[in-house]
Amino acid sequence: MDIVKDRRAARVEAKAAEIVAELPTFAECAEIYIRSNWSTWSEKHCDQWPSSLKIGKLTIPEIKPSHVHDLLKPIWVEKRETANRVRGRIETIIAKNVNIDDPDFRNPAELTKQLREKLPKRPKRAVQSGITRHCPMPRRPPSCRRSPAPRARQRRCCGSSSSPPAGRTRRSRPVG
């Protein structure tokens, strides 16, 4: 009886190895995806995509979140936007090469709480407006700010002319 079980187990293992051998590697899947979209991309995208996808010779089912983590960790803090794009590219290629009806499949490159918690913490970005920080708006003189004067006088006071903007003419009211 043990001989029969051993032979069955060996056949199952051999069949599983054949299936894995038939699957394309991540690099092959990425190359197919890049070739199919090459004509629609800018030159910059054509350069960036192939150089950013360095997973190796793994097949799609063999890729684990730890592989994605190891790839992103060195650039996660220093090159925030690049890391986001690389993760998104990996996620896209994996999503294009899996069975859509497989309910048990979970994309290892998906930005889940698990992956975010394992990657180093990023410092918060300082929200700043380049216009207000570097080129503040000129302030009106105090005499114009709260002045109940008519608009024309306010414009003259603040350095604007009272004539209408270029390209516009004054309309006269119909006499009636």
Q: Do the domain assignments include residue 3?
A: no
pLDDT in tens, the chain (176 residues): 688 888 888 888 877 666 555 788 888 988 888 888 888 988 888 888 888 787 778 888 888 888 888 888 888 888 888 888 898 999 899 888 888 787 777 888 787 777 777 787 877 776 655 554 555 556 666 665 555 555 555 555 555 445 555 555 555 556 65
Residue at 13 is within a domain: no
Distance CA 46, CA 85 (A): 14
Domain tally, the chain: 1
Residue 61 DSSP SS3: helix
Report if residue 37 sits inside a domain. yes
pLDDT at residue 5 in the model: 85
20 domain residue, yes or no: no
- 56 part of a folded domain: yes
Q: What is the domain range of residue 92?
A: 25-118
- The predicted structure's pLDDT at residue 153: 53
H-helix segments, 23-137? 26-37, 43-52, 65-72, 80-96, 113-118, 130-134
Looking up residue 104, the CATH number of its domain turns out to be 1.10.150.130
10 part of a folded domain: no
Q: Look at residue 145 and tell me if it is in a domain.
A: no
pTM of the model: 0.56
Q: Is residue 55 part of a domain?
A: yes
End-to-end CA distance of the chain: 114
pLDDT confidence of residue 106: 80
The DSSP bridge partners found for residue 59 are: 25
**Residue partners of 107: CB distance under 8 A and separation at least 6:** 91, 94, 95, 98
Which two three-digit tokens encode residue 128? 């700043």
Bridge partners of 25? 59
